[in-house]
Homo-oligomer: A and B are copies of this chain.
Amino acid sequence: MKTILGREFPDYIDGYGKVTPFQGALKEAGIKTRKAVKMKCVNPYDSKLLDNLEQAFDKLNMKDGMTISFHHHLRNGDYVLNRVVEGLAKRGVKDLTIAASAIFPIHEPLVKYIENGVVTGLVANYISGPVAEAISKGKLKKPAIMQTHGGRARSIESGDLLIDVAFLAAPTADIYGNINGVYGDSACGTLGYAISDAEYADKTIAITDNLVPFPACPIQISQIFVDYVVQVESIGNPAGIVSGTTKITKDPVALIIAKRAAEVIKASGLVKDGMSFQTGAGGTSLAVALELKDIMQREGVVGSFASGGVTEPLVEMLEEGLFKTLFDVQCFDLKAISSFRNNVTHQAMSASMYGNPHTKGAVVNCLDIMILGATEIDTEFNVNVTTGSNGVIMGGSGGHSDTAAGSKLSIVVTKLINSRFPKIKDQVTTITTPGESIDVIVTERGIAVNPRRADLIEKLSSTNFPLVTIDELKTMAEDITGVLQTVQTLEKIVAVVEYRDGSVIDVVRGVY
């Protein structure tokens, strides 16, 4: 089978099932379903508080073949996923599927459980570190499923991804299961990626290291969705959960790229009252935010919202009145957490509200400007943020495809080459986000506009922007690096890359 983007893979993949090929980013979605949920009612006088994880495993009737879910708000400081899987392994449970919104290097202990069959499936929006490498080496029995942030919410709410037990790392919880992320030693801010899990899993358990008297306040996840509560000594390492401060690049080349990107935004005509903006937490992306801030201040523009994973620069723009509100699915730093805790105009959003295409309208639909990164870009503007040029998994879409699809102007900021690898090439190793969703590529050597955006080309042409074609960018890159051979992969499919609507946009094959 060959997709409209020219990628070839079978229409049935062992361990994944029947494949629906990618049909286009903005295909009319029509009527969709949020699935029914069965739950065990909790009556007055029932208690939810359990003594320890072992008792929880008993109560939850944990057994082989289950799908268990985790959120990644504790990022590289998360202790919960490892603790749970280790505990289940000790009980002899096997054949688990881990449905985690993201996997980080701290989850390295998973590798041995992948090797010994305790874990045979993995579904995530982003995978980096030893687990990603193990998957690329073909160690996981079934292909990993790589989703987008909105796509994960969609798959959980639609019933495509059935979760037996959601294990919710809870920075603060009370004995009846009310949860927030703003207090406690492991405070992480909003809990956007945990909402669908809590509401749609067969069973939901809160695991907390900060059990507070009833009721927790504020409540981000309600008691009505939580079956059990268990207290542990620590759910995470604060140093890995958030960075103390957000790092904006000091690299002079990256700063030039950021400046150019801001100029493109200005030239697009989108910088006006009511505008909305999102950027990733990468150093160059954040530098764009600072440049945009300058422009907004100079022109006296007040935007409607900034969104995303929220960082200090966005909080400062809120506090300085440049945006009326923030939509926050996860807090990236301490400043964001504190702002979310104290400022009502800093609003939480669930992953579903953020990017689920099968709702009555996600926030990404309302986005004017999105700043994106890329590992590779092909001459059709398709972007790879899933694998490195060596073919090994090193990330995933996260919100990349969601925001690119929804925003009016999506700009990829990137250097032309990454050490000795060209960023722009004929074929990307993996397609994460389709080129139709990408409007502009800004590099230090030139700016390429997607030919679909004739309107934008016209706007930028009337100025002195260094406009080039994407093919010219590719040639410039290859002039420096030489034409590199495409990485040789094995036949075996180690990961299936789902587009946000659940169709398959690409697969990742094993590496030697």
A107 to chain B, nearest CB (A): 28
- Per-residue contact bits, chain A 177-204, to B (CB 8 Å; 1 contact, 0 not): 1000000000000000000000000001
A367 and chain B: residue at smallest CB distance:
B44
Q: Decide: A42 and B361 in contact? CB cutoff 8 A.
A: yes
Number of A interface residues, CB 8 Å?
A: 61
* A10 interfacial contact with B, CB 8 Å: no
Which residues on B sit within 8 Å (CB–CB) of A222? 349, 353
* A34 interfacial contact with B, CB 8 Å: yes
Which residues on B sit within 8 Å (CB–CB) of A454? none
* A6 interfacial contact with B, CB 8 Å: no
- Per-residue contact bits, chain A 360-389, to B (CB 8 Å; 1 contact, 0 not): 111111100000000000000000000000
* A327 interfacial contact with B, CB 8 Å: yes
Q: Chain A: interface secondary structure?
A: loop
Q: Decide: A215 and B304 in contact? CB cutoff 8 A.
A: yes
* A257 interfacial contact with B, CB 8 Å: no
Give residues 148-190 of A contacting B (CB, 8 Å): 176-177
Choose one: B41, B177, B225, B364; the contact of A357 (CB below 8 Å).
Answer: B41
Give residues 196-229 of A contacting B (CB, 8 Å): 204, 213-215, 217-219, 222-227
Given A344-B218, A359-B224, A360-B225, decide whether A34 and B37 contact each other with a Cβ distance below 8 A: yes
Given A215-B325, A223-B353, A224-B353, decide whether A38 and B31 contact each other with a Cβ distance below 8 A: yes
A219 and chain B: residue at smallest CB distance:
B347
Q: Decide: B305 and A215 in contact? CB cutoff 8 A.
A: yes
* A399 interfacial contact with B, CB 8 Å: no
Q: How distant is the Cα of A369 from the Cα of B443 in the complex, in angstroms?
A: 66
Interface segment among A22-30, A77-85, A260-268, A308-316: the answer is A22-30
Give residues 43-81 of A contacting B (CB, 8 Å): 43-46, 48
Given A215-B304, A224-B352, decide whether A177 and B360 contact each other with a Cβ distance below 8 A: yes
A356 to chain B, nearest CB (A): 7
Which residues on B sit within 8 Å (CB–CB) of A363? 223
Q: How distant is the Cα of A31 from the Cα of B40 in the complex, in angstroms?
A: 4
Which residues on B sit within 8 Å (CB–CB) of A492? none
Which residues on B sit within 8 Å (CB–CB) of A38? 31-33
Residues of A within 8 A of B (CB): 26, 28-46, 48, 176-177, 204, 213-215, 217-219, 222-227, 274, 304-305, 324-325, 327, 344-345, 347, 349, 352-353, 356-366, 405-406
Can you list 14 pairs linking A and B with CB atoms under 8 Å apart?
A: A32-B38, A32-B39, A33-B37, A34-B36, A41-B359, A42-B361, A43-B357, A213-B324, A214-B304, A214-B305, A217-B325, A217-B347, A226-B360, A226-B361
